[in-house]
Amino acid sequence: MNLTPATLAAALDSTNLRLDASAADITALCHEAAAHRFACVMIYPASVPHATRVLAGTGIRIGTVIGFPSGRFSTGAKAAEIDAMHAAGAHEVDIVMNYAALRDGDTGAVAAELRALTQRAHGHGQLVKVIVETCYLDADQRLTALRLCEDAGVEFIKTSTGFGSAGAKVDHIAAWAAARRGDIRIKASGGIKTLADARALLAAGAVRLGTSSAAAIVAELNGGAAAAAGGY
């Protein structure tokens, strides 16, 4: 895959969901995102107002997580969080599916929640990504999750929170890419640390990558390009 630093950066959601993240850490994340032109910053809801102030005028999008990390919150609580994040300045919401309900076979409840939350977010003009936590789903459940996300009209299906037992897997991405019925996009997240990780997941069909190593991955590509030109 022929990647330039700019095209790679545009595919990266630069993420800080560390439990000990400070306001200074979020400020640094935002400045880094503006410098590299990442797709968005991905942060906790409480950090969104701060990021909105730091990123004002830069054009960098702000993403946040809803029902994170378990997905086991009421639909009303998730909807209220979406509303509050719109008011605070978030452009994108990564909603954790109630994957426990999916595993228990209650697809009707999962479908109803996804439809309601997607409509709520779209009413605010927000882009929707649904995190399904693939490490806890078998192959059939992962395909069911894809169908539910497609039927709800979300823009992205996303692999992982980063808090589960494993992150993004190339074979899971490839299976989703092959099984898509329409134009839903795929975001890989969890455990993406290197340029090789990024290349493999993009080649499998992901178009967004959520990573806390965004700047390091772009630097790795820049270093490789410089070395190839004899300048590193």
Q: What residues have CB less than 8 Å from 155, skipping those under 6 apart? A: 127, 128, 129, 184, 185
Q: How far is CA 17 from CA 29, 150, 211, 219, in A?
A: 11, 27, 10, 21
Confidence (pLDDT) at 2: 82
Nearest alpha carbon to residue 6 among 228, 197, 230, 221: 221
Q: What residues have CB less than 8 Å from 20, skipping those under 6 apart? A: none
pLDDT tens across the length of the chain (232 residues)? 689 999 999 999 999 999 999 999 999 999 999 999 999 999 999 999 999 999 999 999 999 999 999 999 999 999 999 999 999 999 999 999 999 999 999 999 999 999 999 999 999 999 999 999 999 999 999 999 999 999 999 999 999 999 999 999 999 999 999 999 999 999 999 999 999 999 999 999 999 999 999 999 999 999 865 433 333 2
Active site residue 158: yes
Active site residue 193: no
Domains in the chain: ranges and CATH: 5-228 (3.20.20.70)
Confidence (pLDDT) at 1: 60
Distance from C-alpha of 193 to C-alpha of 212, rounded to nearest angstrom: 8
SS3 99: helix
- Per annotation, catalytic residue among 13, 78, 129, 158: 158
Confidence (pLDDT) at 224: 66
Confidence (pLDDT) at 62: 99
Distance from C-alpha of 66 to C-alpha of 95, rounded to nearest angstrom: 5
- Per annotation, catalytic residue among 94, 129, 169, 197: 94
- Per annotation, catalytic residue among 78, 129, 169, 187: 187
Q: How far is CA 216 from CA 106, 117, 198, in A?
A: 41, 34, 11
